[in-house]
Amino acid sequence: MRIVDFADMLQGSINEKINECKCSIHKLHNPIYNQSLEVEIEALEWVKGQVQHLVRKDTYETKKGLLPTVVERFLKRRLYFKKLLKRWDKRGSKDV
């Protein structure tokens, strides 16, 4: 399966979920419930944008697959936050 085919399939399922959430929003529902649906829609739209970005980047720059690219970005972010946490712990222990 090519990355473009997988991305199209993924975006299709994301669009279905977005439409489902949009149909669930109603004025008579609890405002907190509606807000949670709106946040979910925003998150799904962000994911859809990231997939589109990765497909474009993959098509034009590299030949790395979608999953390895996502995993690589996740691991880089995780290492970055671990470094930040270590710095914060060092600073916090000196202040005490």
pLDDT per residue as tens digits for the range 35-91: 999 999 999 999 888 888 877 766 555 566 777 778 888 888 888 888 888 877 776
Residue 57 vs residues 39, 54, 76: alpha-carbon distances, Å: 27, 5, 18
- What tens digit of pLDDT does each residue of 27-42 get? 888 889 999 999 999 9
Q: Judge if pTM exceeds 0.75.
A: no
Structurally, the chain folds into a number of domains equal to 1
Say how many C-beta atoms besides its own lie within 10 A of residue 91's C-beta: 9
Range of the domain at 53: 3-95
CA distance 80 to 74: 10
User: Nearest CA to 55 among 47, 70, 66?
Assistant: 66
